[in-house]
Amino acid sequence: MVADLIRRKGSVVVVALLAILVLNVGVSVVKGNEKVVFEVQHKFKGSNGGNGRDGSLLTSLKAHDNYRHGRMLAAIDLPLGGNGSPTDAALYFTKLSIGTPPQDYYVQVDTGSDILWVNCVGCDKCPKKSSLGIDLTLYDMKSSSTAKSVTCDQDFCLSAFNAPSSDCKVGFPCEYSVTYGDGSTTGGYFVRDYANFNQVSGNLQTSSMNGTIVFGCSSQQSGELGSSTEAVDGIVGFGQANSSIISQLASTGKVKKVFSHCLDGINGGGIFAIGQVVQPKLKTTPLIPNEPHYNVMMKAIEVGGEVLDLSTEASGDGSGSSSIIDSGTTLAYLPNDIYTPFMAKVMASQPGLKTHTVEGSFKCFVYSGNVDDGFPVVTLHFEDSLSLTVYPHEYLFALNDNQWCIGWQNKGMQTKDGREVTLLGDLVLSNKLVVYDLENQTIGWAEYNCSSSIKVKDDKSGNVYSVGYHDLSSACDLSVGKLLRFLLLIAVLLFYPS
Ligand SMILES: *[C@@H]1O[C@H](CO)[C@@H](O)[C@H](O)[C@H]1NC(C)=O
Ligand SMILES: *[C@@H]1O[C@H](CO)[C@@H](O)[C@H](O)[C@H]1NC(C)=O
Ligand SMILES: *[C@@H]1O[C@H](CO)[C@@H](O)[C@H](O)[C@H]1NC(C)=O
Ligand SMILES: *[C@@H]1O[C@H](CO)[C@@H](O)[C@H](O)[C@H]1NC(C)=O
């Protein structure tokens, strides 16, 4: 449905189709001509062989990694800016330093996708100004002495996407097009260059560490990516596919495949670190195997003490609602058969309240009291007794002094095989420390003060260091009806131009 398969003579397009949105975004997948399209298996598809996520293979990969990487694994501190408020920035971003001499690029942190890309010179429609208080920069291969283009015969192009090599002419560029859940797309070609990272070298201290990374040089945008005033230079995908930045750094032995974020919903900014978190200790829930995103199993939702048992009411396999954890999504989206009984419970305490629709999609109401007194606390319960509490002031957002809107949205994500899944974005992830442990295939979290610090292990030295809070942003003007990000990766296409 999302991707038409087009078959013509000439070059090759590779499609990794991951999920289909229920809200029917118009995804025009192939704009070019003279292309052949192959739909390829995502690396996590299929039940065994090469997916790296069933127990035995995982163990052997881990052993292999430990052997290969020895004691060189660094912890990295990525400074954060932005905030999750739908009426403000509605996104969190970090700063990456790329090229020789290095240049800074501000990129949205997105655990729902697998590619790092930045806008490149030659992009006419790329944003030039941002209301986030950051200077935008276009990457220029010609002005970096360490930049190299990635060709379609190179490993990154072939193996990261499982692409067929038959239609690649040696030396031709590896082009891509990415489609996100909100229908926005970006496209360009892959390049390889040095990047500098802040390696944790002491308590709240860092030193520079460099590594080579492959990333997309985007020369076209469509949809909201190009038109939003809250513009950034690109997106850094922290998904688990081989192409993501975390997988690239881990495969060259620079870091462990563990990272964490604490998105500060109160002050903006927060904490983002690569490396094993030693403090605080967190409870965890297993990642559901063979999913392209970070899916965990939600078993129940508790609304003000009343429990909605998802293992009996939800669609799916009867064990709960598969839920995607995505920092690149602003709000939280529930499948309709959960949303309806859930919202009835949330609004039960305010029977006289009338809602009206704002900007076509938000249910809003007039309320002058303290929302934390008038609405119930919501607690999401996950497999292995991990819970996540969301307070009324987190799931309701103020339009103005006495108008509030509901952050929960009635639209799940539909997977390829027709299941509807929950999508949990910054609305529920803010003010929590969230740890993604890809080595152990778990996600853990706990309520946390994101303006403070965490303790992370530096496997190079064996020392434990504090990694602190950052806020890169300056205030941006409040207004209604901003872009709500929905940066869940839908599809990646590769092109081998002829
Ligand atoms: C991803 O990387 C792993 C380890 O380097 C490799 O074994 C696997 O084949 C790669 N996956 C794909 C789809 O190429
Ligand atoms: C990368 O790091 C090494 C070792 O610290 C240093 O010698 C080299 O100059 C750095 N290269 C770049 C391009 O920053
Ligand atoms: C993974 O689990 C093992 C055993 O439970 C534990 O020793 C290890 O510290 C965990 N790895 C990380 C990165 O937390
Ligand atoms: C969070 O931590 C910061 C830094 O330690 C502190 O100044 C602030 O008061 C804390 N906030 C809360 C709500 O405890």
Range scoring the smallest mean pLDDT among 51-60, 133-142, 271-280, 310-319: 51-60
Whose Cα sits closest to atom 12 in ligand 2?
210
Q: Rounded distance, CA 239 to CA 326, Å?
A: 9
Q: Supply the pLDDT for residue 126.
A: 86
Whose Cα sits closest to atom 2 in ligand 3?
440
Q: Rounded distance, CA 248 to CA 134, Å?
A: 27
Determine the distance separating the centroid of ligand 2 and the alpha carbon of 453, expressed in angstroms: 28
Can you give the residue ranges of every domain in the chain? 32-278+470-482, 282-447
Helix (H, G, I), strand (E, B) or coil at 65: helix
Is 452 touching ligand 4 by the criterion CB < 6 Å? Answer: yes
Whose Cα sits closest to atom 13 in ligand 3?
276
**Cα dist. 162→14, 107, 239, 316 in Å?**
9, 26, 16, 29
Q: How much is the mean pLDDT over the chain?
A: 80
Q: Rounded distance, CA 144 to CA 21, Å?
A: 39
326 is annotated as an active-site residue: yes
Mean pLDDT of 39-51: 27
pTM for this predicted structure: 0.84
Listed ranges 210-214, 265-269, 433-437; the one with the highest mean pLDDT = 433-437
Mean pLDDT of 400-405: 88
110 is annotated as an active-site residue: yes
Q: Which of 110, 167, 233, 437 is catalytic?
A: 110
Q: How many CB atoms lie within 10 A of CB 164?
A: 15
Residue 144: alpha-carbon gap to chain centroid:
28
Q: Rounded distance, CA 363 to CA 403, Å?
A: 10
Per-residue pLDDT for 315 more than 90? Answer: no
Which of 41, 242, 439 has most ligand 1 atoms within 8 Å of its beta carbon, as the pocket-test mutant?
Answer: 242
Q: Rounded distance, CA 181 to CA 327, Å?
A: 13
Q: Which of 326, 437, 458, 459 is catalytic?
A: 326
Mean pLDDT of 411-418: 73
DSSP 328-391: TBSSEE--HHHHHHHHHHHHTT-TT---EEETTTEEEEE--S-HHHHS--EEEEEGGGEEEEE-
Q: Rounded distance, CA 383 to CA 298, Å?
A: 6
Q: Which residue has the tokens 């992830």?
A: 429
Q: Are strands 332-333 and 408-409 parallel, antiparallel or unpaired?
A: parallel
Q: Rounded distance, CA 187 to CA 176, Å?
A: 5
Q: How many CB atoms lie within 10 A of CB 56?
A: 8
pLDDT in tens, 456-486: 999 888 899 999 999 987 544 444 444 455 6
pLDDT in tens, 233-260: 999 999 999 999 999 999 988 999 999 9
Mean pLDDT of 172-183: 85
Determine the distance separating the centroid of ligand 4 and the alpha carbon of 452, expressed in angstroms: 6
Q: Which residue has the tokens 């082009």?
A: 175
Dihedral sign, Cα of residue 125, residue 129, residue 134, residue 140: positive
Shared fold status for 32-278+470-482 and 282-447: yes
Per-residue pLDDT for 421 more than 70? Answer: yes
Per-residue pLDDT for 215 more than 90? Answer: yes
Listed ranges 8-12, 220-224, 285-289; the one with the highest mean pLDDT = 285-289
Per-residue pLDDT for 400 more than 70? Answer: yes
Is 441 touching ligand 3 by the criterion CB < 6 Å? Answer: no
CB 377 within 8 A of CB 304: yes
Q: Which residue has the tokens 């396999």?
A: 317
- List 332's β-bridge partners, or say none: 408, 424
CB 2 within 8 A of CB 413: no
Helix (H, G, I), strand (E, B) or coil at 64: helix
Q: N- to C-terminal Cα distance for the chain?
A: 27
Q: Supply the pLDDT for residue 478.
A: 45
Q: Rounded distance, CA 423 to CA 180, Å?
A: 14
Whose Cα sits closest to atom 1 in ligand 3?
440
Q: Supply the pLDDT for residue 486.
A: 60
Which of 440, 456, 457 has most ligand 3 atoms within 8 Å of its beta carbon, as the pocket-test mutant?
Answer: 440
CATH number of this structure's domain 32-278+470-482: 2.40.70.10
Query: pLDDT tier at 226 (50, 70, 90 boundaries)?
Result: low
Mean pLDDT of 51-79: 50
Residues having CB within 6 Å of any atom of ligand 2: 100, 146, 194, 210
Per-residue pLDDT for 310 more than 50? Answer: yes
Beta strands (DSSP E) in 84-167 are 91-98, 103-110, 116-119, 148-149
CATH class of the region 282-447: mainly beta
Determine the distance separating the centroid of ligand 2 and the alpha carbon of 133, expressed in angstroms: 30
DSSP 460-491: TTTEEEEEE-B---------SSPPPPB--EEE
**Cα dist. 299→141, 334, 380, 441 in Å?**
48, 13, 8, 19
Which of 452, 466, 467, 469 has most ligand 4 atoms within 8 Å of its beta carbon, as the pocket-test mutant?
Answer: 452
Per-residue pLDDT for 15 more than 90? Answer: no
Per-residue pLDDT for 230 more than 90? Answer: no
